[in-house]
Structure 1
């Protein structure tokens, strides 16, 4: 559930190189009912049902843009695989496949990476990941992923190191209105102590932890460009 988009950061950067501007459209003037804030006493399941079962799969269709005027479409697929070993520990792998098209230029990139979780359901932790370049990032420090959380709760997932990069991951739960919550995962990656990029991924979830949609914002420090992608679970 972490690092789905980080896995193809490098490939995304390639698609950015020739980005060009695009126009926007106006609204139709129609009205919608006022949203009702979600009750802050509701405990939301943090992990989707069945997420750690072999064969579990999620797919998202996304669209988005960047702050340089580029526009994008993307498909994200996440599949849970059979138990394996990661960094000498039993682990449950979750493999991500990301396909992105820069619709401003026609450039297409794809990337695959794998996240690894501990097997103990009572104290689940995010052990680390292998990115689309095949680099393994292992934990420097870890926290247990909560089984449930309420709006306003927040915490730390862990800190990870690989190939001179250091990644810190945190989470928080915010109001999404009408009985839903935003599960926000924030990541900051530095290299030799300097910011390389940051990412904020926000899932709209129901009380049972089922995901409805996702929005990802990725900032590249070297270019100053931010990409935003969003869409619904299929």
Structure 2
């Protein structure tokens, strides 16, 4: 594939990462956390909607490969900017900075800025640094507390490039009291799925983030990367 096409493919990976990107590693032996175990998501949610301030989650060394056997690397940072005013609305602001690199190629970086209504915590708008804007047609968010085994909607979104996005969340068992908070999303152009992504945070028993796993599928190729929280 020409270099320009490879660049476009990597750029699409980091754009998708920025929309709902974050996830979690962890594994090894142990006992699965029982279904129904309560998990406090309040601190995570405060970061997710940008209500706190500063770089909250940093994953500087993501590594992995794709379904064609090619190596990938990258990084991801979640930055919460706190309360602000945007388009006359009182909102909280969150940025996700994602970088991806295919093999020894040129790294590509994308920043996605998301705004959430301060009064409800619901999504208001997200904007990528490539100029694509997503506006919710149905808005939802994760709860402040959930039980292992719970799941729900994250809403549907209309993109300024003509695409639509839908997303869900789920909380699965981890090991020895940990849990796995996953975000699954799909971007469609008409009825065609352009990309699909599953991002999974592994949370410790107190709801703290341990690491990151990301799986993105574009044009029939799946990229998997993982790394620990800094």
TM-score, with length taken from structure 1: 0.79
Select the residue among 134, 138, 150 that pairs with 1:137.
134
Instruction: Tell me, yes or no, if the aligned pair for 2:10 and 2:102 is still in contact at 8 Å.
Output: no
Partner of 1:161: 158
Alpha-carbon distance in 2 for matches of 1:203, 1:42: 16
CA RMSD of aligned residues (A): 2.3
Partner SS, residue 54 of structure 2: coil
The verdict on how the C-alpha distance between 1:70 and 1:88 changes in structure 2, with shifts beyond 3 A counting, is farther
The verdict on how the C-alpha distance between 1:127 and 1:106 changes in structure 2, with shifts beyond 3 A counting, is same
Shift of 1:85: 3.7
> How does 1:169-180 map onto structure 2 within 5 Å?
169-180=167-178
Partner of 2:52: 53
Shift of 1:68: 1.5
Alpha-carbon distance in 2 for matches of 1:11, 1:118: 34
Q: Which 4+ residue blocks in structure 1 deviate beyond 4 angstroms?
A: none
Instruction: Tell me, yes or no, if the aligned pair for 1:217 and 1:226 is still in contact at 8 Å.
Output: yes
The verdict on how the C-alpha distance between 1:204 and 1:14 changes in structure 2, with shifts beyond 3 A counting, is closer
Shift of 1:210: 1.1
Shift of 1:12: 6.6
Q: Once the two structures are superposed, what CA deviation does each residue of 1:123-176 show, in whole Å capped at 9, x if it has no partner?
A: 432333112312110110012431111111000011110121110010011011
Partner of 2:220: 224
Instruction: Tell me, yes or no, if the aligned pair for 2:10 and 2:101 is still in contact at 8 Å.
Output: no
Shift of 1:40: 2.6
Task: Give the paired residue count.
Answer: 205
Alpha-carbon distance in 2 for matches of 1:170, 1:225: 22
The verdict on how the C-alpha distance between 1:175 and 1:11 changes in structure 2, with shifts beyond 3 A counting, is farther
The gaps in structure 2 that reach 5 residues or longer are: 1-5, 13-26
Alpha-carbon distance in 1 for matches of 2:38, 2:108: 39
Instruction: Tell me, yes or no, if the aligned pair for 1:174 and 1:183 is still in contact at 8 Å.
Output: yes
TM-score, with length taken from structure 2: 0.80
Where relative contact order (Cα < 8 A, 6+ residues apart) is larger, the structure is: 2
